[in-house]
Structure 1
């Protein structure tokens, strides 16, 4: 398993960044999840963190629970008006959640696995 070290200062609270195949963020705790949205493969490392600590897709605002990798809100905007689409994507990510990586703090660095 490959590991990558980055300065913890590069991931302040409320931020997300890309580290290899992971979107690494800090919602009060550090997390690492797969970098591609299950909807249209947007780069989640360009996303944001909402008030509930979920990772939000930068393209269509789908939201992911970073502890499980499951989508908790489907794509928004015009996609939100498609009947059944939200339920479909939420069910899809229960079966095929975002990969979750490990993040540990080592001094001033984060170690992402």
Structure 2
């Protein structure tokens, strides 16, 4: 297990980077690989949407942290490119973000040793 730190250091709505993972708290603790499938932005610098998705800091693509799949394609100028969002959403059905379980023990967060997907 990789120690992340005290659970109190990751309040609801926050995201941080731990090794190759973006670790966050959307009401549940989660860890997904931290590179956006669009242009490689560091998802550890992202935010959490009202519905609990991890939002890319660069172009606002959104990821379901339970599946690793993109549920909303890139925004901004990229939203004007026909079909781009659909292409990236399809890509993450084939190659979703990796998911790693987060375990709480004695008030501390830990990355489980095995990747869930």
With the length of structure 1 as denominator, give the TM-score of the two structures.
0.96
The answer to whether the 8 A contact 2:71-2:89 is kept is yes
Equivalent pair of 1:4/1:112 in contact (CA under 8 Å): yes
Give, in whole Å, the separation in 2 of the partners of 1:9 and 1:18. Answer: 16
Superposed displacement of residue 4, structure 1: 3.0
- 1:73 counterpart = 2:43: no
In the TM superposition, 1:1-113 aligns within 5 A as 3-113=2-112
Displacement, 1:86? 0.6
In structure 2, runs of 5+ residues without a counterpart are 113-117
1:62 to partner: Cα distance: 0.2
Please tell me the root mean square deviation across aligned C-alpha atoms, in Å. 0.9
Deviation at 1:5, TM superposition (A): 3.2
